[in-house]
Each structure stands twice: as structure tokens, then as C-alpha cells.
Structure 1
Amino acid sequence: MSESDAEKKQMTRSTTRMQQISTSIYRKYKLSVLYASLTIPVGIILIFFDKAPSRNDFLDHWNRAEQIAAGQFTAIPDPSGTGNYGAINKDGVFEAFNNTAINSPFTYFPSVFGGGHLRISCLLTLLFSTLFVCIAISLAKQYDTIIFGIAILPIFFLSSIYPTADAITNSISLLWVAFILYLY
């Protein structure tokens, strides 16, 4: 066997090995990449170009995020004693947001990093939620299609493009389920 034949054989072996590695990486992460490549562009379009967004409890979630960003981690009770919880706004008026007052401050971390800018907070919520879901899909092994199927549902996706606690709660929940499936 000549030296050039040996080199060709070695190159063929290394090329085949590289193809095997890239194929195994592709197989392992293909649904994660597919999920990210679907949700991030569509999410960005909806965040920046949706003229009439329908956000669930938007003002309540946004008020809670602003309260946490200001350093107030727990909602305060209404000073008038009505039983409502919320915050006192810049004008000194109490604003109730009972439905979001109980949410953990952790679930609003992307909105807090947004620095009070709505679209940046939406974008960060989308990116962090997508990251957690991609990790969950990769972690779930043979159950990755189930995690992908849940994550691609419109109700799940639409919660991840607005600064809500629901987006992080849903994606962390999927990550937890994926971890349990991984252990199984």
C-alpha cells in the first residue's frame, strides 16, 4: 500500500468519524434546535410587530415585575384594609394585582433584567423560556417529542413572549418533568 493510499484511508476514517459525531449531535439536539428555530423568530415578530397583542393579565404582571425590580419582593396589603395586595404607584395611589401578588419573584427575573423596557423584557422572557425548554428537550432522551409537543402548543408559546411569571413557571416545570424522565 502506497503512502498516498494510507493517507486517503486515514482521511476517509477521520471523515467518517466526524460524520458519526455530527450525526449523533444532530440526533441528540435536533428537536431543541427545531424548537429554538421556530419559537425565537416567531416570538420576535410577535414581540416587535404585533399591533394589538392580547396579553393575559398584562398590567398585573407588569406591575409585579416593576415592583420586584424596585426591590419590593413581596406585595403589600392595601392600606385601606380591603384585603387586596399590590403596590403603591409613582403617584402614591395603591394598585391592586391580587392574581400576580403571590407569584415568586424568581419567575420575573427576565423582566427585571429588562430594566423596565417592555420589549426587552419580552425578548428576555422569550430567550430564557426557550433556553429552559431546549434543555428540557435535550434532557428528556426518548421522551423529547413529548416535551417538544407540549412546548409547541400555542398556549405555552404565547405565554413565553410576554413578561409573565407563567412563561418561566411553564418552562421550569417542563424542565423538571424532563429531569424526572431523564432519571426514569
Structure 2
Amino acid sequence: MSKRENVTADILKQTIAILKTEGSSGVTMRQVAGKTGITLSNLQYYYADRTKLFQATAAFFFNECEKTILNELSAIDTRDGESAKEFIRKLLDMLIVDGGNDDNHGIFREIWALMLRDAELAETVHRFYKNYSNWLVQLISGFTSQPEKIISLLIPYAEGYAVIGADLTLKRQEIIEMLLEIIWQMKVKT
């Protein structure tokens, strides 16, 4: 990586760390600069204001989430039925999480809250979800003829579960198995 790429990655990682511990209200340009070990003016060279910083942070964070999913799922061969089912089970296990006990979903909640007051950030988040949906459709299209339906069910459910999942009557694993059964009934290809 170039020096610029290293600096921007460090800035974004430090912003995420602050978001995790202090929430969006705790993120100031000065604090990010201090945690990164650069001057405020240097930070502003990379990101002119908090909106630009949060847009880049959201894009970076979402990209890291996609890399994690791909890395976790790369070992599963989807050419046979049982492996494909295991692939979906693993995907569900990664997406259906209790947001109250998961730092990464805390970041999602902070970004969602910020986007309610920031149209530019909202555009970034909406663009992410559109790309994320398309990416997941492609990811599962090798073994189902209805990937759009599955992903249209899965993403809103996973996002909502992150917020209220701990309050539901079924346990997380029961929900994963229920969703797996629903998705598997939609499966057509092997």
C-alpha cells in the first residue's frame, strides 16, 4: 500500500474504534487526528469535515464486512447440495447477530443514526445497501433460481434482528434454522 493508503486506512480504523467506544457524538476531527498521530490540518487534507470522514468510514467499514463474509465462506464448496446448505447456514450465522452484543452492529447503528441527519451520508449508506444486495444476490445465485427473493428477505431480517433479536421468543439458533428451512425450500439448483 502507498503511504496515502496507509494513512487513510489508519484514519478510518481509528474512527471506527472511537465509534465503537464513544458513539458518533464522541467522534471529533481533533480526536481522530490525535488517535491517528497526525495534525488536524493533515486530517482535513484527507477528509475536509465530519461528513466526508463518516462517508469514507462507512464505505471502509462496509467493505471490511464484505471481505470478512467472503473469507469465512471461501472454504465451502457449493457444488453439492449439502455444502450449499452449509454455505447458507454459515451466511445466516454471520448475518443474524444480536447487535447488542456485537461491536460491528453497534457501528451500523451509529451510521444509521447519523444518516438520519446527514443526506450525503444517507446517500452513501443507501448506495452500500444497493451494492451489498447485488453482491449477495451474486454470491448465492450459483445454487438458487431466486436469489433476489432470498436476499430481499434476508437483509431486512438480519438488520432488524440486530436491533431487536434479543427480545424475540425464539433463540438465535432456532431462527437461523427456520430461515435456512425457508431459504432451502426456495432452492432450485444444486
Q: TM over 0.5: same fold?
A: no
Greater helix percent: which structure? 2
TM-score (norm: length of structure 1): 0.27
Looking at secondary structure, tell me which structure has more strand per residue: 1
TM-score relative to the length of structure 2: 0.26
